[in-house]
Structure 1
Amino acid sequence: MIEVRNVWKKYGDQVVLERLNLSIAEGEFCSMVGASGCGKSTFLRLLLGQEQATRGEILLDGKPLPAEPDEHRGVVFQRYSVFEHLSVVRNVLLGLELPQAKFTGRLFGARRRAARDEAVAMLERVGLGTALDKYPQQLSGGMQQRLAIAQALVMKPRVLLLDEPFGALDPGIRRDMHELLLGLWRESNLTIFMVTHDLKEGFTLGSRVLVFDKVRVDPQAPGAYGARITYNIPLDHSRDSASSIHAAQAAVEGAARADVIPV
């Protein structure tokens, strides 16, 4: 589904990413881990179309990825990217209204009722069916992140991009969000890319783990080389198995002890 061919990204003289080559099938869940500043979020922005590669290309279904964000790529950030002045249901309904009502920004009559029903159904799926008329400031952090996920998924994207979506949440709430995300992933054919600094989270959720690292360092020219995908680790464990977290832990511990996993 997605092909990344010899992608480089530079900002001026600073090389952030170099020689990225990757092939991802539809429906995969790719966790992206690595040290801060090694280009994970930059790569996510390239996938979103928010930024363009300096060299190389990214293909979607064999065609160049659109140069601007579109409805096929949903995104959820670490900070709750919701509209504070709109109710919960209006936050989700807005995404359905704007593409269909280009001049007024609103739908009317039967079209509006159908769109609202769709928004309500999505909110019920993420556990916000009883909070339709509340405003974001009345919600907890976990509920606001559920709202942000509903905003992204109601547009039926093919690719969901997550930039540390659970980083600001307490551990208990994060576990609930993990279950929610895996449930939504199982129900759909979404392809997911998630940036996380939590290695355990990356191995627990992902069907593939991409490790970013800067393998070449020149003290005299620290910006000369960029980060690469040093490990590309497929995880062969069932999302429905209660032992999946133990398999993930064993995999990451083994990778840490023996640096023998093929790139």
Structure 2
Amino acid sequence: MSLITIKKLWKKYDDNVVLEKINLNIEEGEFCTLVGPSGCGKSTFLKMLLGQEAPTSGTFLLDGKPFPDEPGIERGIVFQRYSVFPHLTVLGNVMMAMELKESKFFGKLFGTKRKEAKESAMKMLKSVGLGDAADKYPSELSGGMQQRLSIAQSLVNKPKILLLDEPFGALDPGIRADMHKLILDLWEKNNLTIVMVTHDLKESFYLGTRLLVFDKVRYEPQAPNMYGALITYDIPVGDTRESVLKEVEESIN
């Protein structure tokens, strides 16, 4: 059974069709990259996987069961903008993710549980290269370090699925290359299934094991919102990389 099963999925906002006829199976351990023109529904699709949006119609399953209608710990997410708490230290940010999981009412752990959470948080910070920055505040970190912190927050509760919404788009090329290496390392070591939205086609081929291209193939000038985007390419990334790169690039530009 696939980890994620999607059949005949549609997403509409009133008369505005965003996505139509989406059929997709994602297996555990895949790294799926999503590309396509701006406004074609990639981020909306990611929000549905997170639980922030619900499909209008169609089959939408996680582990064979209906997708949860709200975000949960089995799915972590990292955005382009760093989703960190500025008033907390680096360690405090990661511990907060654990405390909210264990104690939703108080948002605080005590005694042995707090000690265990601190140890787990430090272990995660070391895995993303922030072990020496545990006592710093987000404002003292570079952009790349803040994004490492966001990743640590998302992974500390050991989700099955990691969702990435253009997480490296605002980073300088050198820092971006370091982040690529980090996310691939974490993907392999944590047995993650990753779904990532990006506008960088080369990045999508470099990181992903599977490339999904979203595009609107039907267009009615008199009713531009009548049709939605669908998956026009579903490409296993490997030896075909170079042969399809130009064709896909032309189709989304």
TM-score, reference length from structure 2: 0.95
Identity of aligned pairs, percent? 62
Q: Aligned residue for 2:20?
A: 18
Per the TM alignment, residue 61 of structure 1 is displaced from its structure 2 partner at its CA by 1.1
Q: Aligned residue for 2:175?
A: 173
Q: Secondary structure at the match of 1:130?
A: helix
Match of 1:80 among 79, 82, 92: 82
Query: Unpaired segments of 5 or more residues in structure 2?
Result: none
Give per-residue Cα distances to partners, 1:133-162, cap 9 Å, x unaligned.
Answer: 100000000000000000000011001000
Greater displacement, 228-237 / 213-222? 228-237
Structure 1 residues 46 and 103, CA, compared in 2 at 3 Å: closer, same or farther? Answer: closer
Q: Aligned residue for 2:225?
A: 223
Runs of 4+ in 1 over 6 A off after TM superposition: none
**Are the equivalent residues in 1 in contact too, given 2:32–2:194 (CA < 8 A)?**
yes
Q: Aligned residue for 2:190?
A: 188
**Are the equivalent residues in 1 in contact too, given 2:201–2:249 (CA < 8 A)?**
no
Q: Aligned residue for 1:235?
A: 237
1:1-263 paired onto structure 2 within 5 Å: 1-236=3-238, 248-253=241-246, 255=248
Per the TM alignment, residue 186 of structure 1 is displaced from its structure 2 partner at its CA by 1.1
Q: Aligned residue for 1:240?
A: none
Give per-residue Cα distances to partners, 1:73-100, cap 9 Å, x unaligned.
Answer: 1000000010111000000001111222
Give per-residue Cα distances to partners, 1:145-200, cap 9 Å, x unaligned.
Answer: 00000000001100100000001101110000000000001112211000000000
Tell me, in whole angstroms, the C-alpha distance in 2 between the residues paired with 1:214 and 1:70: 30
Tell me, in whole angstroms, the C-alpha distance in 2 between the residues paired with 1:101 and 1:43: 30
Tell me, in whole angstroms, the C-alpha distance in 1 between the residues paired with 2:41 and 2:227: 12
**Are the equivalent residues in 2 in contact too, given 1:203–1:249 (CA < 8 A)?**
no
RMSD, matched Cα: 1.4
**Are the equivalent residues in 2 in contact too, given 1:200–1:249 (CA < 8 A)?**
no
Report the residue type matching 2:206 in the other structure: T
Per the TM alignment, residue 248 of structure 1 is displaced from its structure 2 partner at its CA by 3.7
Per the TM alignment, residue 103 of structure 1 is displaced from its structure 2 partner at its CA by 3.6
**Are the equivalent residues in 2 in contact too, given 1:200–1:248 (CA < 8 A)?**
no
Count of residues in correspondence between the two structures: 249
Query: Unpaired segments of 5 or more residues in structure 1?
Result: 238-246
Give per-residue Cα distances to partners, 1:175-233, cap 9 Å, x unaligned.
Answer: 00000000001112211000000000001000000000000000010000000000000
Tell me, in whole angstroms, the C-alpha distance in 1 between the residues paired with 2:105 and 2:193: 32
Q: Secondary structure at the match of 1:120?
A: helix
Report the residue type matching 2:246 in the other structure: E
Q: Secondary structure at the match of 1:30?
A: strand
Report the residue type matching 1:253 in the other structure: K
Structure 1 residues 256 and 130, CA, compared in 2 at 3 Å: closer, same or farther? Answer: closer
